[in-house]
Amino acid sequence: MLCRPDNANSFFAKLAFVVCLTLLCVLQAFPSNEPSSVTLKIRGNDGEVKLYRGYPETVVKLLFPAGEAIFVPDSKPQNWRLSHAPILKKVVFGRVYDTKRRFNVFGASFGERLFIFDKVFGSENSVTMSQFIRATGSDPSDEAEALVLAKLYLALSYYRLENPSGFIAHKSSYSANTNGSENQSSNSEVNDILQLPKVVRQGGTFSVEFYAYDSPGFPQSGASHWQISIGPGNLEERLSAHHDDFYGRFPKAASDKARAQRRINFAVTTMGNGFTSDGAETDIQNWDSSDGPGVQRIHYYYKSHEKAERRMQDFLQNAVATVDNRPWRSSGGSIVGTQARVITMSYGKLVASQLYEDETSVLEFSCATLDNLAAALDLEPPNASPH
Protein backbone atom coordinates (compact mmCIF):
# COMPACT_ATOMS: atom_id res chain seq x y z
CA MET A 1 0.00 0.00 0.00
CA LEU A 2 1.31 3.45 -0.91
CA CYS A 3 1.87 6.12 1.73
CA ARG A 4 -0.41 9.12 1.78
CA PRO A 5 1.38 12.35 0.73
CA ASP A 6 1.40 13.82 4.26
CA ASN A 7 2.77 10.60 5.70
CA ALA A 8 5.39 10.42 2.91
CA ASN A 9 6.67 13.91 3.68
CA SER A 10 6.93 13.05 7.34
CA PHE A 11 8.70 9.80 6.52
CA PHE A 12 11.34 11.48 4.32
CA ALA A 13 11.90 14.26 6.87
CA LYS A 14 12.60 11.65 9.54
CA LEU A 15 14.84 9.73 7.14
CA ALA A 16 16.84 12.88 6.35
CA PHE A 17 17.27 13.57 10.07
CA VAL A 18 18.53 10.02 10.70
CA VAL A 19 20.99 10.27 7.79
CA CYS A 20 22.37 13.61 9.03
CA LEU A 21 22.70 12.26 12.55
CA THR A 22 24.53 9.18 11.26
CA LEU A 23 26.94 11.31 9.20
CA LEU A 24 27.64 13.49 12.22
CA CYS A 25 28.50 10.45 14.31
CA VAL A 26 30.76 9.12 11.57
CA LEU A 27 32.60 12.45 11.29
CA GLN A 28 33.13 12.52 15.02
CA ALA A 29 34.39 8.95 15.04
CA PHE A 30 36.72 9.61 12.11
CA PRO A 31 38.03 13.19 12.48
CA SER A 32 39.29 15.15 9.50
CA ASN A 33 42.81 14.42 8.29
CA GLU A 34 43.35 18.17 7.84
CA PRO A 35 46.03 19.15 10.41
CA SER A 36 45.61 22.07 12.76
CA SER A 37 46.53 25.48 11.41
CA VAL A 38 46.13 29.10 12.42
CA THR A 39 45.43 32.20 10.35
CA LEU A 40 48.60 34.20 9.77
CA LYS A 41 48.66 37.67 8.25
CA ILE A 42 51.72 37.83 5.98
CA ARG A 43 53.24 41.06 4.72
CA GLY A 44 55.44 40.83 1.64
CA ASN A 45 58.42 43.00 0.70
CA ASP A 46 56.08 45.11 -1.44
CA GLY A 47 53.83 45.81 1.54
CA GLU A 48 50.97 43.64 0.26
CA VAL A 49 49.16 41.75 3.02
CA LYS A 50 47.80 38.25 2.46
CA LEU A 51 46.14 35.74 4.77
CA TYR A 52 47.68 32.28 5.03
CA ARG A 53 46.90 29.13 6.96
CA GLY A 54 50.05 28.68 9.00
CA TYR A 55 51.41 25.23 9.97
CA PRO A 56 52.09 23.88 12.49
CA GLU A 57 49.63 25.69 14.72
CA THR A 58 51.68 25.38 17.91
CA VAL A 59 54.79 26.86 16.29
CA VAL A 60 52.94 29.74 14.62
CA LYS A 61 51.22 30.70 17.88
CA LEU A 62 54.50 30.48 19.79
CA LEU A 63 56.63 32.56 17.41
CA PHE A 64 53.96 34.92 16.05
CA PRO A 65 51.43 35.40 18.89
CA ALA A 66 49.96 38.51 17.24
CA GLY A 67 49.22 36.50 14.08
CA GLU A 68 51.43 38.67 11.85
CA ALA A 69 54.74 38.00 10.06
CA ILE A 70 56.86 39.05 7.09
CA PHE A 71 57.66 36.62 4.28
CA VAL A 72 60.71 37.19 2.06
CA PRO A 73 60.91 34.73 -0.87
CA ASP A 74 64.22 33.03 -1.64
CA SER A 75 64.89 31.80 -5.17
CA LYS A 76 68.03 29.80 -4.32
CA PRO A 77 66.28 26.40 -4.25
CA GLN A 78 65.23 26.87 -7.87
CA ASN A 79 68.92 26.91 -8.79
CA TRP A 80 69.85 23.72 -6.94
CA ARG A 81 70.98 20.96 -9.25
CA LEU A 82 68.33 18.50 -8.19
CA SER A 83 66.91 16.23 -10.84
CA HIS A 84 63.50 14.64 -10.26
CA ALA A 85 62.36 17.69 -8.27
CA PRO A 86 58.87 18.67 -9.52
CA ILE A 87 58.04 19.94 -6.04
CA LEU A 88 60.42 22.88 -6.52
CA LYS A 89 58.09 24.20 -9.23
CA LYS A 90 55.00 24.03 -7.01
CA VAL A 91 56.05 26.07 -3.99
CA VAL A 92 57.73 29.30 -2.92
CA PHE A 93 60.52 29.10 -0.35
CA GLY A 94 61.71 31.91 1.86
CA ARG A 95 62.37 33.38 5.29
CA VAL A 96 59.58 34.21 7.71
CA TYR A 97 60.40 37.15 10.02
CA ASP A 98 58.61 38.53 13.03
CA THR A 99 57.32 42.04 12.44
CA LYS A 100 60.29 43.56 14.32
CA ARG A 101 62.72 41.42 12.28
CA ARG A 102 64.40 40.11 15.43
CA PHE A 103 64.54 36.56 14.06
CA ASN A 104 63.61 34.47 11.06
CA VAL A 105 62.63 30.89 10.35
CA PHE A 106 62.10 29.15 7.04
CA GLY A 107 58.88 28.68 5.19
CA ALA A 108 57.43 26.95 2.14
CA SER A 109 54.19 28.36 0.77
CA PHE A 110 51.73 26.47 -1.40
CA GLY A 111 48.62 28.35 -2.41
CA GLU A 112 47.31 29.96 0.77
CA ARG A 113 49.17 27.57 3.09
CA LEU A 114 52.50 28.35 4.74
CA PHE A 115 54.62 25.64 6.39
CA ILE A 116 57.25 26.77 8.90
CA PHE A 117 60.49 24.98 9.79
CA ASP A 118 63.45 25.54 12.09
CA LYS A 119 66.10 23.36 13.69
CA VAL A 120 65.04 24.36 17.20
CA PHE A 121 61.78 22.39 16.80
CA GLY A 122 63.64 19.13 16.15
CA SER A 123 61.43 16.17 15.27
CA GLU A 124 58.37 18.46 15.08
CA ASN A 125 59.73 19.41 11.66
CA SER A 126 59.06 15.91 10.34
CA VAL A 127 55.38 16.29 11.25
CA THR A 128 55.26 19.59 9.36
CA MET A 129 57.06 18.03 6.38
CA SER A 130 54.49 15.24 6.31
CA GLN A 131 51.71 17.86 6.15
CA PHE A 132 53.65 19.66 3.42
CA ILE A 133 54.01 16.46 1.33
CA ARG A 134 50.29 15.71 1.62
CA ALA A 135 49.24 19.27 0.78
CA THR A 136 51.40 19.42 -2.36
CA GLY A 137 50.68 15.83 -3.45
CA SER A 138 54.41 15.12 -3.51
CA ASP A 139 54.58 11.48 -2.45
CA PRO A 140 57.71 10.05 -4.11
CA SER A 141 57.15 7.63 -6.97
CA ASP A 142 60.73 6.39 -7.13
CA GLU A 143 64.07 6.43 -5.30
CA ALA A 144 65.25 9.64 -6.96
CA GLU A 145 62.20 11.62 -5.83
CA ALA A 146 62.52 10.21 -2.29
CA LEU A 147 66.13 11.40 -2.12
CA VAL A 148 65.10 14.88 -3.29
CA LEU A 149 62.44 15.12 -0.57
CA ALA A 150 64.93 14.00 2.09
CA LYS A 151 67.46 16.63 0.98
CA LEU A 152 64.78 19.31 0.83
CA TYR A 153 63.60 18.37 4.31
CA LEU A 154 67.08 18.82 5.80
CA ALA A 155 67.61 22.07 3.90
CA LEU A 156 64.40 23.51 5.35
CA SER A 157 64.63 22.10 8.86
CA TYR A 158 68.29 21.98 9.82
CA TYR A 159 70.46 23.80 7.27
CA ARG A 160 68.68 27.15 6.84
CA LEU A 161 67.99 26.62 3.13
CA GLU A 162 71.61 25.74 2.26
CA ASN A 163 72.20 23.91 -1.02
CA PRO A 164 72.21 20.14 -0.26
CA SER A 165 75.36 19.74 -2.35
CA GLY A 166 77.14 21.67 0.43
CA PHE A 167 76.06 19.53 3.38
CA ILE A 168 75.64 15.98 2.03
CA ALA A 169 78.84 13.99 2.64
CA HIS A 170 80.07 12.13 -0.44
CA LYS A 171 83.30 11.06 -2.09
CA SER A 172 83.96 14.14 -4.17
CA SER A 173 83.56 16.57 -1.28
CA TYR A 174 85.58 14.32 1.02
CA SER A 175 88.44 13.99 -1.48
CA ALA A 176 88.58 17.73 -2.06
CA ASN A 177 89.07 18.41 1.64
CA THR A 178 91.40 15.61 2.79
CA ASN A 179 94.85 14.41 1.83
CA GLY A 180 95.68 11.40 -0.29
CA SER A 181 96.66 9.07 2.52
CA GLU A 182 93.26 9.41 4.13
CA ASN A 183 91.52 8.94 0.77
CA GLN A 184 93.11 5.54 0.39
CA SER A 185 91.87 4.19 3.69
CA SER A 186 90.92 0.52 3.50
CA ASN A 187 88.44 0.80 6.34
CA SER A 188 85.19 -0.69 5.05
CA GLU A 189 83.10 1.56 7.29
CA VAL A 190 84.74 4.61 5.75
CA ASN A 191 83.93 3.32 2.27
CA ASP A 192 80.33 2.68 3.31
CA ILE A 193 80.01 6.22 4.59
CA LEU A 194 81.51 7.73 1.47
CA GLN A 195 79.20 5.74 -0.81
CA LEU A 196 76.11 7.26 0.80
CA PRO A 197 73.45 8.49 0.17
CA LYS A 198 71.46 5.41 -0.62
CA VAL A 199 67.75 4.74 -0.95
CA VAL A 200 65.97 1.44 -0.37
CA ARG A 201 62.34 0.87 -1.34
CA GLN A 202 60.08 -1.47 0.62
CA GLY A 203 56.56 -1.45 -0.75
CA GLY A 204 55.35 2.13 -0.75
CA THR A 205 57.97 3.34 1.73
CA PHE A 206 61.45 4.65 0.90
CA SER A 207 64.30 4.52 3.41
CA VAL A 208 66.91 7.21 2.72
CA GLU A 209 70.30 7.08 4.43
CA PHE A 210 73.29 9.41 4.26
CA TYR A 211 75.76 11.49 6.26
CA ALA A 212 75.56 15.29 6.38
CA TYR A 213 78.28 17.65 7.56
CA ASP A 214 77.54 19.40 10.84
CA SER A 215 78.81 22.60 9.19
CA PRO A 216 78.02 22.69 5.45
CA GLY A 217 81.10 22.19 3.29
CA PHE A 218 83.50 21.44 6.15
CA PRO A 219 84.31 17.72 6.62
CA GLN A 220 86.56 18.54 9.58
CA SER A 221 83.48 19.71 11.49
CA GLY A 222 82.21 16.12 11.70
CA ALA A 223 79.09 14.61 10.21
CA SER A 224 75.79 13.18 11.39
CA HIS A 225 74.13 9.99 10.23
CA TRP A 226 70.60 10.52 8.94
CA GLN A 227 67.95 7.88 8.29
CA ILE A 228 64.75 9.28 6.79
CA SER A 229 61.71 7.17 6.06
CA ILE A 230 59.21 8.53 3.52
CA GLY A 231 55.89 6.77 3.03
CA PRO A 232 52.52 7.86 1.65
CA GLY A 233 52.02 11.33 3.10
CA ASN A 234 54.44 10.71 5.94
CA LEU A 235 58.10 11.45 6.76
CA GLU A 236 60.03 10.27 9.82
CA GLU A 237 63.62 11.04 10.75
CA ARG A 238 66.34 9.38 12.77
CA LEU A 239 69.55 11.23 13.49
CA SER A 240 72.69 9.88 15.10
CA ALA A 241 75.39 12.49 15.59
CA HIS A 242 79.07 11.54 15.80
CA HIS A 243 81.37 14.22 17.07
CA ASP A 244 84.62 12.50 16.14
CA ASP A 245 85.90 13.04 12.61
CA PHE A 246 83.23 11.43 10.45
CA TYR A 247 85.69 9.08 8.73
CA GLY A 248 86.93 7.83 12.10
CA ARG A 249 85.22 5.50 14.54
CA PHE A 250 81.62 4.40 14.02
CA PRO A 251 80.82 1.37 16.22
CA LYS A 252 77.88 0.01 14.29
CA ALA A 253 76.63 -2.37 16.97
CA ALA A 254 76.50 0.34 19.62
CA SER A 255 74.87 2.82 17.25
CA ASP A 256 72.23 0.32 16.16
CA LYS A 257 71.46 -0.56 19.77
CA ALA A 258 71.10 3.10 20.75
CA ARG A 259 68.82 3.77 17.79
CA ALA A 260 66.66 0.77 18.66
CA GLN A 261 66.25 2.04 22.23
CA ARG A 262 65.73 5.62 21.01
CA ARG A 263 67.52 6.89 24.11
CA ILE A 264 69.81 9.91 23.84
CA ASN A 265 73.04 9.64 25.79
CA PHE A 266 75.14 12.63 26.86
CA ALA A 267 78.81 12.87 27.77
CA VAL A 268 80.60 15.83 29.34
CA THR A 269 83.35 16.97 26.97
CA THR A 270 84.56 20.22 28.56
CA MET A 271 84.27 21.82 31.99
CA GLY A 272 85.40 25.17 33.29
CA ASN A 273 84.82 28.07 35.64
CA GLY A 274 84.62 31.77 34.99
CA PHE A 275 83.17 35.14 35.88
CA THR A 276 80.61 37.45 34.30
CA SER A 277 80.54 41.23 34.03
CA ASP A 278 77.67 41.40 36.55
CA GLY A 279 79.70 39.64 39.23
CA ALA A 280 78.64 36.00 38.92
CA GLU A 281 80.90 33.02 39.32
CA THR A 282 80.10 30.45 36.65
CA ASP A 283 80.33 26.69 36.37
CA ILE A 284 80.32 25.76 32.65
CA GLN A 285 79.90 22.32 31.05
CA ASN A 286 79.49 21.22 27.43
CA TRP A 287 77.80 17.90 26.75
CA ASP A 288 77.98 15.96 23.51
CA SER A 289 75.03 13.74 22.62
CA SER A 290 74.64 10.40 20.88
CA ASP A 291 71.75 11.71 18.77
CA GLY A 292 71.64 15.25 17.50
CA PRO A 293 73.03 18.43 19.05
CA GLY A 294 74.68 18.64 22.43
CA VAL A 295 73.87 20.82 25.42
CA GLN A 296 75.62 23.67 27.21
CA ARG A 297 75.08 23.94 30.97
CA ILE A 298 75.97 27.17 32.80
CA HIS A 299 75.35 27.80 36.50
CA TYR A 300 75.54 31.48 37.54
CA TYR A 301 76.28 32.01 41.27
CA TYR A 302 75.61 35.41 42.86
CA LYS A 303 76.02 36.93 46.33
CA SER A 304 72.57 38.50 46.31
CA HIS A 305 69.05 37.60 45.26
CA GLU A 306 68.67 40.88 43.37
CA LYS A 307 71.43 40.03 40.91
CA ALA A 308 70.11 36.52 40.35
CA GLU A 309 66.65 37.95 39.74
CA ARG A 310 68.05 40.50 37.29
CA ARG A 311 69.84 37.78 35.33
CA MET A 312 66.62 35.74 35.12
CA GLN A 313 64.57 38.73 33.99
CA ASP A 314 67.14 39.56 31.30
CA PHE A 315 66.76 36.04 29.92
CA LEU A 316 62.97 36.31 29.89
CA GLN A 317 62.82 39.81 28.39
CA ASN A 318 65.29 39.00 25.61
CA ALA A 319 63.57 35.72 24.68
CA VAL A 320 62.00 35.36 21.25
CA ALA A 321 59.24 33.21 22.75
CA THR A 322 58.35 31.75 26.14
CA VAL A 323 57.31 28.10 26.05
CA ASP A 324 56.71 27.77 29.78
CA ASN A 325 57.08 29.98 32.88
CA ARG A 326 56.01 28.75 36.30
CA PRO A 327 57.13 28.25 39.93
CA TRP A 328 60.01 25.87 40.54
CA ARG A 329 59.07 23.40 43.24
CA SER A 330 61.23 21.14 45.35
CA SER A 331 60.66 17.40 45.55
CA GLY A 332 58.53 18.12 48.62
CA GLY A 333 56.27 20.52 46.73
CA SER A 334 57.41 23.83 48.23
CA ILE A 335 58.26 26.72 45.91
CA VAL A 336 62.03 27.30 45.76
CA GLY A 337 62.18 29.66 42.80
CA THR A 338 61.14 30.13 39.17
CA GLN A 339 61.64 27.97 36.09
CA ALA A 340 61.07 28.83 32.46
CA ARG A 341 61.63 27.34 29.01
CA VAL A 342 62.34 29.92 26.34
CA ILE A 343 63.55 30.28 22.77
CA THR A 344 66.30 32.84 22.28
CA MET A 345 68.62 34.08 19.55
CA SER A 346 72.29 33.06 19.48
CA TYR A 347 74.58 34.01 16.60
CA GLY A 348 71.59 34.53 14.33
CA LYS A 349 69.93 31.19 15.12
CA LEU A 350 67.14 30.11 17.44
CA VAL A 351 68.19 28.22 20.57
CA ALA A 352 66.11 26.51 23.26
CA SER A 353 66.95 27.22 26.90
CA GLN A 354 65.67 25.92 30.22
CA LEU A 355 66.18 28.30 33.15
CA TYR A 356 66.01 27.77 36.92
CA GLU A 357 66.32 30.62 39.41
CA ASP A 358 66.60 30.12 43.16
CA GLU A 359 67.61 32.55 45.91
CA THR A 360 71.14 33.36 44.67
CA SER A 361 71.76 31.49 41.43
CA VAL A 362 70.48 30.87 37.91
CA LEU A 363 70.98 27.56 36.11
CA GLU A 364 70.77 27.55 32.32
CA PHE A 365 70.61 24.57 29.95
CA SER A 366 70.72 25.49 26.26
CA CYS A 367 70.52 23.39 23.11
CA ALA A 368 69.90 23.82 19.39
CA THR A 369 66.72 21.69 19.61
CA LEU A 370 63.88 21.42 22.10
CA ASP A 371 63.98 17.61 21.79
CA ASN A 372 67.53 17.24 23.08
CA LEU A 373 67.01 19.91 25.71
CA ALA A 374 64.15 17.85 27.15
CA ALA A 375 66.26 14.68 26.99
CA ALA A 376 69.09 16.38 28.90
CA LEU A 377 66.73 17.55 31.64
CA ASP A 378 65.42 14.02 32.08
CA LEU A 379 69.03 12.97 32.63
CA GLU A 380 69.82 15.58 35.29
CA PRO A 381 66.83 17.11 37.10
CA PRO A 382 68.28 20.18 38.88
CA ASN A 383 68.02 20.84 42.60
CA ALA A 384 67.90 24.25 44.22
CA SER A 385 71.20 24.61 46.03
CA PRO A 386 72.39 28.17 46.70
CA HIS A 387 76.16 28.65 46.37
Q: Where are the domains of the chain?
A: 38-261, 266-379
For residue 183, CA distances in Å to 191, 230, 251, 306 come to 10, 32, 20, 58
Q: Say what the pLDDT of residue 213 is.
A: 85
Residue with the bigger pLDDT between 58 and 182: it is 58
pLDDT digits (tens, 9 = 90+) for 72-88: 999 888 888 776 677 88
Residue 157: what residue type? S
Q: Say what the pLDDT of residue 21 is.
A: 42
Q: How many whole angstroms separate alpha carbon 358 and alpha carbon 356? A: 7
pLDDT digits (tens, 9 = 90+) for 85-118: 778 888 999 999 999 999 999 999 999 999 999 9
- Where does the pLDDT of residue 219 fall: very low under 50, low under 70, confident under 90, or very high at 90 and above? low
Q: Say what the pLDDT of residue 17 is.
A: 46
Percentage of the chain lying above the pLDDT 90 cut = 55
- Where does the pLDDT of residue 132 fall: very low under 50, low under 70, confident under 90, or very high at 90 and above? very high
Q: Are the C-beta atoms of 382 and 363 separated by less than 8 Å? A: yes
Q: Say what the pLDDT of residue 90 is.
A: 87
**Mean pLDDT rounded to a whole number for the chain:** 81
pLDDT tops 80 at residue 338:
yes
Task: Select from 2.60.40, 3.40.1000, 3.40.1130, 3.40.50 the CATH code of 266-379.
Answer: 3.40.1000
pLDDT digits (tens, 9 = 90+) for 304-335: 999 999 999 999 999 999 999 999 988 888 99
Q: How many whole angstroms separate alpha carbon 335 and alpha carbon 178? A: 56
Report, as an integer, the average pLDDT of 174-193: 46
pLDDT tops 50 at residue 186:
no
User: 373: burial class by Cβ within 10 Å (0-12, 13-18, 19+)?
Assistant: buried
- Where does the pLDDT of residue 193 fall: very low under 50, low under 70, confident under 90, or very high at 90 and above? low
pLDDT tops 70 at residue 189:
no
Q: Say what the pLDDT of residue 195 is.
A: 66
Residue with the bigger pLDDT between 230 and 89: it is 230
Q: Say what the pLDDT of residue 84 is.
A: 65
pTM given for the model: 0.79
In 3D space, the residue among 348, 341, 370 whose CA is nearest the CA of residue 124 turns out to be 370
Report, as an integer, the average pLDDT of 224-236: 92
pLDDT digits (tens, 9 = 90+) for 236-292: 998 876 544 433 333 443 444 444 455 788 888 899 999 999 999 999 999 988 788
Percentage of the chain lying above the pLDDT 70 cut = 74
pLDDT tops 70 at residue 214:
yes
Q: Say what the pLDDT of residue 291 is.
A: 81
Q: Say what the pLDDT of residue 184 is.
A: 40
Q: Which of 26-40, 187-201, 218-232 has the lowest mean pLDDT?
A: 26-40
Q: Say what the pLDDT of residue 171 is.
A: 58
Report, as an integer, the average pLDDT of 5-24: 45
